[in-house]
Structure 1
Amino acid sequence: MLTIGQLAAYAGVTVRTVRHYHQVGLLPEPERDASGYRRYGPTAVVSLIKIRTLASAGVPLSEISRLLDADEPTFTEGIHRIDSHLRDQIERLETSRRQIARLAAGDALALPAEVTTYLDRLREIGVSERVLKGERDGWTLLAARWPDRVREFIPYKIAQLDDPHVVRLYRILSEVFDGDGDGDDPRLAEAADIMACLAEQANAGRVFHADYEDMPHDLLDALAVESDPRVQRLVELMRERGWSGWNRMEPLA
């Protein structure tokens, strides 16, 4: 007859594990003998080895008790059910691993590949990291709401970067928002002039669909103001030029 320590060593587990199996009802706990010790016989050893094997294979402890008492067909069915559950878990974990791996790329988090390409182009023309963060956060809001339509926007946005006025706008914004100036920075007026010109072109060409809901655009406008209070001054300058909004600029009546 074995002590609890001998039992644990024989089955390749710890004494703490044996006691846990007692607590959850997987392994019966024997009565103490005359000397005050609990002694385990061969049946307990076999049961513990089976429990250890099933637990090591990933079978939940809540399932092990039923499997130990099952006949062969029921046991096989239970194992197949657990295997299916484990496959689902593996697929979820693999998806999580792919998402975690994308974190290293920074821009790739929650963004389609087309958007990360666009952000890379912005870096190439010298856009500051602060402005890039605003772009990244804004595209994250859009991609969450319109994952397919975002891909429609990107070719137009990338084509815009061939326009020297757009490049100039991004560089002005980078200089202004990276600095310590206030809303009176004269470069904001130049930025507003460029934005008004671009708004006229976009409105004439009807670049974006008119049926898009307002909420994402409202969030983008609020995000811009939250990121830097000087954006509010730029919005005011745009209104002076006949345009409302920040992301989806519309002509004022």
Structure 2
Amino acid sequence: MLTIGQLAAYAGVTIRTVRHYHQVGLLPEPERDVSGYRTYGADEVVRLIRIRTLADAGVPLAKVQELLAADAPTFTEATGVIDRDLRAKIRELQEHRRRIAQLASGDSLAVPDEVADYLDRLRVIGMPEELIAAERDAWILVAARYPDEIVAYMEEKVRQLEDPRVVHFYQLISQILADDEDHGHVVQEMADLLIEMLEEAAASGQLEQQDLKMDDSTFVQLLDSMAEAHPVVVELQQLLAERGWTGWTKVERA
């Protein structure tokens, strides 16, 4: 007859595992002998090995008791169900791995793939990480508030990058972020570019679509507060106001 340590060694498990199986009812706990010890025989070794084999195969412990008592057809059916569950779990884990791999750059955290792609496009045109991080944080909010619209927003942003003036505007921002010199003339040039593009958008009717795309005024104020944390944005807003425009996330004629 075997001690609990010998039983565990023969079955290839730990003593703690044997005790856990006792606790959950998978392995009957024998009575103590006259010496006060619990001893085990061949039947317990075989049962413990079967339990270990099922558990190692991924069978949940809650299902092990059922399989141990099942006839051949029931066993086959039950293992088929477990196999489907395991395959679904594998697919879920593979998707987690894919998402973790995307997070390596930091851009995919809480943003859709379309936003991450747009941020990569900003890198291609030479935008600094400080600017990209600010854009990413803003789009995290937009994607959370307007999940059904984010694809259309990104398509529009990508289309805008085809305009050399937009690229130049971003380059001017990069120039400001690159050093601490006085950039009054750069901000003025940025304002001129914005006014030119706003006038075109107003003439084509694009500005009228803003209310349809972003109809939550409180949310617009939230985005504006993020942008206005940078003094250059505040200066740009002042220059725009002098020429009859207000707002930032939603720019309108005063």
Cα 1:125/1:89, change in 2 over 3 Å = closer
1:63-119 CA-to-partner distances (Å, cap 9, x unmatched) read: 212222333333333222222221221111111111111122443443435x44543
Per the alignment, residue 160 of structure 2 pairs with: 157
Indicate the RMSD between aligned Cα atoms, in angstroms.
2.7
Contact persistence 2:118–2:154 (CA under 8 A): no
Please give the residue correspondences for 1:31-42 in structure 2 after superposition, counting only pairs within 5 Å.
31-42=31-42
1:208-246 CA-to-partner distances (Å, cap 9, x unmatched) read: 7441133364443233234x2543343333223222221
Q: Which amino acid aligns with 1:130?
A: E
Per the alignment, residue 247 of structure 2 pairs with: 245
Q: Does 1:193 align with 2:192?
A: yes
* Distance in 2 (alpha carbons) for counterparts of 1:60 and 1:118: 43
Cα 1:214/1:177, change in 2 over 3 Å = farther
Per the alignment, residue 104 of structure 2 pairs with: 104
Q: Does 1:71 align with 2:71?
A: yes
Per the alignment, residue 28 of structure 2 pairs with: 28
Shift of 1:12: 0.9
Greater shift after overlay, 94-103 or 215-224?
Answer: 215-224
Cα 1:138/1:41, change in 2 over 3 Å = same
Task: Give the fraction of aligned pairs with identical amino acids, expressed as a percent.
Answer: 50
* Distance in 2 (alpha carbons) for counterparts of 1:157 and 1:185: 25
| Structure 1 gap ranges (5+) | none
What secondary structure, in the 3-state scheme, does the structure 1 residue paired with 2:249 have?
coil
Q: Which amino acid aligns with 1:75?
A: F
What secondary structure, in the 3-state scheme, does the structure 2 residue paired with 1:59 have?
coil
Q: How many residue pairs align between the two structures?
A: 246
1:29-62 CA-to-partner distances (Å, cap 9, x unmatched) read: 1111112221111221121111101110111112
Q: Does 1:148 align with 2:151?
A: yes
Q: Does 1:222 align with 2:225?
A: yes
* Distance in 1 (alpha carbons) for counterparts of 2:178 and 2:25: 64
* Distance in 2 (alpha carbons) for counterparts of 1:147 and 1:167: 21
Shift of 1:151: 4.1
Contact persistence 2:27–2:48 (CA under 8 A): yes
* Distance in 2 (alpha carbons) for counterparts of 1:172 and 1:152: 23
Please give the residue correspondences for 1:57-68 in structure 2 after superposition, counting only pairs within 5 Å.
57-68=57-68
* Distance in 1 (alpha carbons) for counterparts of 2:63 and 2:191: 66
Shift of 1:125: 3.8
* Distance in 2 (alpha carbons) for counterparts of 1:86 and 1:206: 54
TM-score by length of 2: 0.83
Q: Which amino acid aligns with 2:152?
A: R
| Structure 2 gap ranges (5+) | none
Contact persistence 1:176–1:185 (CA under 8 A): no
Per the alignment, residue 16 of structure 1 pairs with: 16
* Distance in 1 (alpha carbons) for counterparts of 2:234 and 2:31: 78
* Distance in 2 (alpha carbons) for counterparts of 1:49 and 1:171: 68
Q: Which amino acid aligns with 2:247?
A: G
Contact persistence 2:161–2:167 (CA under 8 A): no
Please give the residue correspondences for 1:114-153 in structure 2 after superposition, counting only pairs within 5 Å.
115-144=115-144, 145=147, 146-153=149-156
Shift of 1:167: 3.6
* Distance in 2 (alpha carbons) for counterparts of 1:62 and 1:53: 14
Q: Which amino acid aligns with 2:22?
A: H
